[in-house]
Amino acid sequence: MTEDGVVITGKHPAWQIHKRLYNWVLHWAETKYGLAALIVLAITEPICVPVPLDVLVVGMSLGKPKNGIKYGITGAMFSVLGGTIALLLGMAVGGENVAAVFDKIHLGAKVELALAMYQKYDFWAIAVSALTPVPYMLFSWLGGMAEVSILKFVLVSIVFRIMRFGGEGALFYFFGKRAERFIEKHFNLATVIVIILLALIAFVMKKLGTVFAP
């Protein structure tokens, strides 16, 4: 894997640290504190934790498929809380300072890309980051710099975070452990299809609003 000109392999120190953190997060799914760990990770992931919430949602849903929807929606709502905290912190600290921090951890190019997406696509930028593997943390911190409405950020995040994590949990609820193979193979494709469908729906609604406007 290559990121910013640095080749990262399974033996790379940064990868080893991330792998240990990933495994440590995942082990909570097998303990009685799983739900508490899910809430903590959901809040902290959009702020500073590099391990995706999907790890615990899928891990816990795999153990108890009939609780999958509950785990997904719980994770989604607390993830939005974490994202909103990051947005407010970003506004308090100042966009330039936030961008400088991301630049120090070699994410400067992604900051520019996120801001360009905000400027061009507005609410769709939030939707894509909330639903897909695009870093929600990055868009949360930079929301203030992009002058995003807090209410819009929260509402859009709720819808699309529930679609992501609630959808994962629902797959386990209805299909049990067979859902794990589906998520591993088709998650990215499924999210792209959903975004396209939602864009089409929004376009049709906009056209209908123009047609029926007084």
Is a pLDDT exceeding 70 seen at residue 62? Answer: yes
CA neighbor of 142 nearest in space, from 81, 100, 105: 100
Is a pLDDT exceeding 90 seen at residue 213? Answer: no
What span, in angstroms and rounded, lies between the C-alpha atoms of 75 and 79? 6
How confident is the model over 129-162, as pLDDT tens digits?
887 766 889 899 988 888 888 998 999 999 989 9
Q: Give the angle 23-166-37 at the CA atoms, nearest 5°.
A: 35
Residue 127 has a pLDDT of 83
Is a pLDDT exceeding 70 seen at residue 175? Answer: yes
What is the 8-class DSSP label of residue 133? Answer: S
How confident is the model over 95-130, as pLDDT tens digits?
888 888 888 877 778 888 888 888 887 778 888 888
Q: How confident is the model at residue 78 (pLDDT cuts 50, 70, 90)?
A: very high
Q: How confident is the model at residue 49 (pLDDT cuts 50, 70, 90)?
A: confident
Residue 214 has a pLDDT of 44
Torsion of CA 118, 141, 112, 119, to 10 degrees: 10
Torsion of CA 18, 8, 108, 25, to 10 degrees: -10
**Which stretches within 64-163 are classed as H helix?**
68-93, 95-104, 108-121, 123-131, 136-142, 150-161
Is a pLDDT exceeding 90 seen at residue 179? Answer: no
What span, in angstroms and rounded, lies between the C-alpha atoms of 146 and 22? 31
Q: Are 169 and 68 in contact (CB under 8 A)?
A: yes
Residue 9 has a pLDDT of 44
What span, in angstroms and rounded, lies between the C-alpha atoms of 124 and 118? 8
User: Stretch 194-202: mean pLDDT, rounded?
Assistant: 60
* Percent of the residues in the chain that have a pLDDT greater than 70, as a whole number: 72
Range with the lowest mean pLDDT among 15-19, 31-35, 68-72, 80-84? 15-19
Q: Are 56 and 28 in contact (CB under 8 A)?
A: yes
Q: What is the pTM of this model?
A: 0.76
Is a pLDDT exceeding 90 seen at residue 181? Answer: no
What span, in angstroms and rounded, lies between the C-alpha atoms of 163 and 187? 12
Residue 191 has a pLDDT of 59
Q: Are 124 and 174 in contact (CB under 8 A)?
A: no
Query: What tokens does 169 get?
Result: 């949990």
